[in-house]
Amino acid sequence: GSPDYLARHGTPERPEDLLRHDCITFRSQTTGALYAWELERGKRTWRVPVRGGVVSGDSGLIGALAEQGVGLVYAFEPLVREQLRTGRLQVVLERYAPKVPGFFLYYPSIAQRSQALRLFVETAKELSMRTLA
């Protein structure tokens, strides 16, 4: 959330606190489903069906809206890294952030012979290493 939003609404301390906050909701462009925020701590997990006045399928837009103080956003850290680095956004509920193992790419074994696929896989590996660093 932005410092302005957190000053006006307070900082959530537990996953259930999100139910009392304006949250910018992400809608899957593939399925149309609203994304429930997934949190974890130890062996316990939460799927919080957050609410808010804004729903978008654009990950860049939801970060920008959060920066403007519209509400809290659940985002993959590399997508908002610059806003976090400069203090325009602040992490909340960090101890509940799920551990993400990385990216996965699935393709049929016959496609392994394709030079285009091999080049794509190498490029994806390079980009993911830069993004996750």
> What token pair was written down for 40?
């974890």
Spans of the chain below 50 pLDDT: 133
Query: E strand or H helix at 5, and its extent?
Result: helix 3-9
pLDDT at 128: 65
pLDDT at 117: 83
- Tell me: do 17 and 66 sit in the same domain: yes
pTM: 0.76
**CATH code, 16:** 3.40.190.10
pLDDT at 54: 93
Residue range 1-14, pLDDT digits in tens: 999 999 999 999 99
Interatomic CA distance for residues 110 and 37, integer angstroms: 37
74 CB neighbour count, 10 Å cutoff: 20
- Tell me: do 92 and 105 sit in the same domain: no
Interatomic CA distance for residues 81 and 60, integer angstroms: 12
